[in-house]
């Protein structure tokens, strides 16, 4: 049977770093409060002359180079993003052009907020399993700083910008146990729209010129409770459905929203702290970019090794949530 294997990863963080100390000069907050409640110490912020596709292209170039591929070896470009460059065309088509992919392969964006990358992996995996696609470039890229209300202290401390990419390749006679995506599980429940959203969009116009209309609104502590419960549930359900014992897991690669949420999920699975990949301290919450950024870091620094078993999980606006169980 056909299996999707991760053949390479790449990532990109914009050069500018915003420290908690910088935020202390912008809103009524402290480094201590931010670290205690979120685990975040700093985040990267996109340059004025950059857009999301620039971050995505940088991450993708690294992944393509590391795989030893030519751009036209890619036959699907999928970009998970909440902050596309433009209303249209999709960021994925811009990325396709900038990478020099001229083979007319399909390219599209996918929006599932912080669960976007897990959704995109799941979608790419289906295309590979059916035989429609041989190599998929799956990117999570965000410039959340552009939809952040920098005067809302309960919110602006959380977000960061960046991009991560993976290349999936079809292995024709593979078994997931030999390496590849074993399973993905994706979910949504639209009744929670109001707890985490940007009120305006192309078809829903601002009711006032208040900046809050154009930026992220979040009822943080209500989202927190649902996130902790949902992530613990999907993590244990994913293992159960695939007949895997938590003790067989080598790594948890979670969406990086809040250190307390991540630790709760790790604890629920009985994992040691050093089996959980953490980047939220340095990246903040980069939404759909957070998992591929974390994955790339832990693979690049040699922590995640070929043959190891990892669980990816995410939760975000919608609400949406999902998981991917992967033998690297
Ligand atoms: N500095 C100092 N004090 C602050 C700050 C700040 N930056 N922000 C809020 N406070 C104050 C509040 O005003 C409140 O004060 P009060 O008790 O006098 O009213 C107090 O701190 C506690 O506020 P809470 O909002 O209850 O703080 P909480 O512990 O819940 O932490 C946080 C807030 C960090 C936002 C947390 O709720 C959280 O991480 N939520 C989940 C985020 C998440 O996972 N989102 C989903 C993924 S993101 C996506 O999909 C785009």
Q: What is the C-alpha radius of gyration for the chain, rounded to an integer number of angstroms?
A: 19
Indicate the top mutation candidate among 41, 151, 221 to test ligand 1's pocket, ranked by most ligand atoms within 8 A of CB: 221
Residue 174 in this model has a pLDDT that exceeds 80: no
Sequence-ordered list of residues with C-beta below 8 angstroms from that of 97, at least 6 positions apart, any chain: none
Are residues 189 and 305 both part of a single domain? yes
**CA neighbor of 152 nearest in space, from 227, 224, 215:** 215
Domain boundary among 123, 143, 176: 176
- Which tokens sit at 207? 């009711």
Q: Which atom of ligand 1 is nearest to the CA of 30?
A: 1
Same domain, yes or no: 10 and 152: yes
Indicate if 158 and 188 belong to the same structural domain. Answer: no
- The CA distance from 146 to 216, in Å, is 10
Residue owning the nearest CA to atom 12 of ligand 1? 154
- Residue with CA at minimum distance from ligand 1 atom 5: 154
- Whether residues 107 and 143 share a domain: the answer is yes
Residue 133 has pLDDT above 80, yes or no: yes
> Per residue in 239-265, pLDDT tens?
999 999 999 999 999 999 999 999 999
Tell me: pLDDT of 177 over 80.
no
Please state the rounded mean pLDDT for residues 98-110. Answer: 98
DSSP state of 158: S
Active site residue ranges: 114, 255, 285
Give the pair of three-digit tokens for residue 311. 């669980």
- Whole-number Å distance between alpha carbons of 239 and 91: 34
Q: What is the mean pLDDT of residues 120-142?
A: 98
Q: Which atom of ligand 1 is nearest to the CA of 258?
A: 39
Copy the structure tokens of residue 57.
């292209």
**Distance from residue 187's CA to the centre of ligand 1 (Å):** 25
**Other C-beta atoms within 10 Å of 147: how many?**
16
Average pLDDT, the chain: 97
One domain, residues 18 and 140: yes
Residue where a domain stops, chosen among 134, 159, 176: 176
How close is the Cα of 300 to the center of ligand 1, in Å? 32
pLDDT digits (tens, 9 = 90+) for 209-243: 999 999 999 999 999 999 999 999 999 999 999 99
Q: Which atom of ligand 1 is nearest to the CA of 38?
A: 34
Helix (H) or strand (E) holding 325: strand 320-327
What is the pLDDT at residue 283? 98
Nearest CA among 284, 302, 318, 299 for reference residue 44: 284
In this predicted structure, the answer to whether residue 1 has a pLDDT above a threshold of 80 is yes
CATH of the domain at 260: 3.40.47.10
- Is 129 found in the same domain as 20? yes
178 band by pLDDT with thresholds 50, 70 and 90:
confident
ipTM: 0.93
Comparing C-alpha atoms, which of 25, 18, 33, 85 is closest to residue 282? 18
Q: Is 43 helix (H, G, I), strand (E, B) or coil?
A: strand
Distance CA 23, CA 38 (A): 14
Looking at residue 285, the DSSP 8-state letter turns out to be B
Shared domain check, 68 and 182: no
Q: Are 224 and 163 contained in the same domain?
A: no
Q: List C-alpha distances in Å: 60 to 26, 165, 253, 284.
A: 34, 5, 20, 21
Taking CB atoms and a 6 Å cutoff, what residues make up the pocket around ligand 1? 29, 33-34, 37-38, 113-114, 153-154, 157, 196, 220-221, 223-224, 227, 257-258, 261, 285, 287, 315-317
How many independent structural domains does the chain possess? 2
Percent of residues, the chain, with pLDDT higher than 70:
100
Same domain flag for 121 and 257: no
pLDDT tier, 175 (very low <50, low <70, confident <90, very high otherwise) = confident
**32 and 49, same domain (yes or no):** yes
209 Cβ contact list (under 8 Å, min separation 6) = none
Helix, coil or strand: residue 115: helix
Domain that holds residue 115: 3-176
Measured by CA distance, the residue closest to atom 2 of ligand 1 is: 29
Degrees (nearest 5) of the Cα angle 221, 319, 140?
A: 105
How far, in Å, CA of 12 to CA of 240, rounded?
Answer: 35
Q: What is the pLDDT of residues 45-95, one digit of tens each?
A: 999 999 999 999 999 999 999 999 999 999 999 999 999 999 999 999 999
For residues 43 and 286, give the distance between their C-alpha atoms in angstroms, rounded to a whole number: 9
Residues 139 and 288 in one domain: no
pTM for the model stands at 0.97
Q: Answer with the one of 119, 151, 176 that is the final residue of a domain.
A: 176
95 CB burial (10 A radius; 0-12, 13-18, 19+): buried
Residue in the block written with tokens 């190891």: 308
**pLDDT of 172 above 90:** no
Judgement on whether residues 10 and 23 belong to the same structural domain of the protein: yes
């Amino acid at each position: 049977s056909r299996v999707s294997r991760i053949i390479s990863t790449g990532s990109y963080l914009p050069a500018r770093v915003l420290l908690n100390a910088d935020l202390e000069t912008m809103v009524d907050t402290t480094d201590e409060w931010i670290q205690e409640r979120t685990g975040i110490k700093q985040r990267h912020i996109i340059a004025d002359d950059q857009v999301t596709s620039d971050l995505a292209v940088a991450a993708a170039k690294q992944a393509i180079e590391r795989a030893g591929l030519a751009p036209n070896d890619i036959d699907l470009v999928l970009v998970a993003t909440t902050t596309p460059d433009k209303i249209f065309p999709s960021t994925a088509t811009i990325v396709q052009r900038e990478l020099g992919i001229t083979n007319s392969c399909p390219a599209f964006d996918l929006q599932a907020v912080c669960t976007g990358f897990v959704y995109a992996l799941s979608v790419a995996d289906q295309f590979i399993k059916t035989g429609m696609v041989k190599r998929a470039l799956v990117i999570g890229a965000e410039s959340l700083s552009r939809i952040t209300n920098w005067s809302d202290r309960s919110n602006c401390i959380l977000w960061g910008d960046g991009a991560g990419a993976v290349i999936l390749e079809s292995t024709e006679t593979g078994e997931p146990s030999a390496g590849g995506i074993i399973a993905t599980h994706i979910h949504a429940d639209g009744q929670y729209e109001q707890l985490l959203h940007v009120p305006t969009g192309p078809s829903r116009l601002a009711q006032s010129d208040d900046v809050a209309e154009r930026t992220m609104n979040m009822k943080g502590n209500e989202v927190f409770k649902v996130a902790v419960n949902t992530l613990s549930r999907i993590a244990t359900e994913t293992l159960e459905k695939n007949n895997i014992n938590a003790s067989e897991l080598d790594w948890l690669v979670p969406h990086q929203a809040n250190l307390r949420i991540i630790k709760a999920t790790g604890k629920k699975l009985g994992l040691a702290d050093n089996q959980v990949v953490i980047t939220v301290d340095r990246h903040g919450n980069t939404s759909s970019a957070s998992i591929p950024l974390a994955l790339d870091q832990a693979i690049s620094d040699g922590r995640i090794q070929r043959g190891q078993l990892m669980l990816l999980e995410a939760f975000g606006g919608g609400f949406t949530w999902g998981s991917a169980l992967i033998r690297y």
